[in-house]
Structure 1
Amino acid sequence: MYWIINENIEFRPGIKKLTSAHNPEVNVTLTTPASRCLLLLLEASPNVVLQQDFFKKVWEEEGMLVPANTLYQNISIVRRGLRAVGETDQKLIATIPRKGFQIDGGVKIAIEEEIVQPTPTSIHIINNDVQNMIPGIFDPTDEHIHHELHPASAVVPKKIPVTCNEKFRSWQISALVIVISFLAGFFSTNAIWNMNKESAFFDSYTLVESDNGCHFHTKDDSHSSNTPYLKYKSLILDSGLNCKNYPWVYFPTSLTSPTLTALVCRHEYTTKSSPGCISLYITGVNDDN
């Protein structure tokens, strides 16, 4: 199931992707919280989604407590994605002051289901003997069919017996083809895998310490001995992070960046293909510098 917005934007919540209905090459992948926010808006349309509903269903049910600014930032991500894919400046998400957000009244919304075409079934008759054909399709007692299949001048071919050596040779050829196909597929897949394999992004992050169940990984972007690590750690913990549900924390340190962006995960990022991460944004972290 996927959503169609204004007849020119497709939203597939399962893969968190916005795609142009007219040009599939134009697409945007949303963050997990942003995708959940958009899904809530579409499901509730044309009604308003209250701010507390966003906090509860997007973050609190995942064990996170986040500031109001995090909600605004994710709504902004959704708006930018819709504008980029829809190639329009039309307002698609309306802000209801002191209440929440809703899909704008002029926006058309539809739900579509993926249609899987069934594979056609073919029936092949491989026996020339009419007696072995499928009953009900050909009746060998029918005089017209009998004469069509066995005219007086027709020559009935004789069956040529197949020797054991020929059967064995045929089996050898089939087995050889199967082995060659398997090896070709194996080496092709392995080559493609190695070409596309990249080192994990968070390999450059270092485990600094483990505190109360949280494992803090960071990358020093400050290029200074006066690292803001302790300050950033305190801001992350004060956001309401639940170390039991999200024990793996990754964030860079910088003395000049006005925003702290942290990735908090259920599993270690380098050891799991699906670590279950969500993003945490904190602004104004270096306003006092």
Structure 2
Amino acid sequence: MMAKAYLIDGRIIFDPEGSKLSRVVPAGINDIVPLNTPASRCFELLIIRQPEIISQQAMLDFVWGQKGAFVSANTLYQNISLLRKALKALELNNPVKTVSKKGFCLDSSLQISTIDTDTFLPSSHQGKNNNPMVPTYSFIESFIQPRTAIILLSLFSIFLIGYIYFSLQRHNAHQRFFDRYTHFTQSNGCDIFKPIADKATGRYLQYTQSHIINCPDKGSVYLSMPNGKTQVTMVICNKRIGQPEVKCRSFNQLREDENE
């Protein structure tokens, strides 16, 4: 089974198993933010059920399991506060919402997709990261002794339906993020895309004309050049995202100027 992580707004990676947040390509120690286990579990549940409102009790049960009945609400709020501080440190401001008398939810505008770390390995212009995050899922194991075959069949059916539902939700979230890109040119046989919201097409054309961009035959490159920053993010894929068996890698570079 491939290792899984979450890509948030195309720039932050959440590693549930490692209990940490980081930029796609960390430039320094401040770009990797550790989480304690309860805060990490809170964030994982918020992601899984985005944008649903999660009750306080449901959060306690997911994070602490059977011990949740003995954990105070104050402890839960402290961990939510720690999670918010960690997200703010990576410029994700207030994505965790408190809904009065109902619980918590994750901002629906946050674009989240599941990535396979075996094929989506962040790299910088200086070389590949030799220590990629390899998150895995954590499950609370329980053993039951069903009385009848009907109970077993019912439990299996619920699990299967839930697995299919969440798999489709994660896949659709990944697709929706890259739906916000538009094709604007070709270079060395590659289809080049940029964010629809970024109107500075000239800046992207200048970059593609002055840099050699290599990608697989008939591949696609998704460029992101945030205004006011020298960082260029490239997601290079063997085909267009959305097609079967697409495989991608992420690269970061620094451009020398900010000329539009």
Q: Does the pair score TM above 0.5?
A: no
Structure number with bigger Rg: 1
With CA pairs under 8 Å and 6+ residues apart, which has the higher RCO, 1 or 2?
2
The normalised TM-score by structure 2 is: 0.41
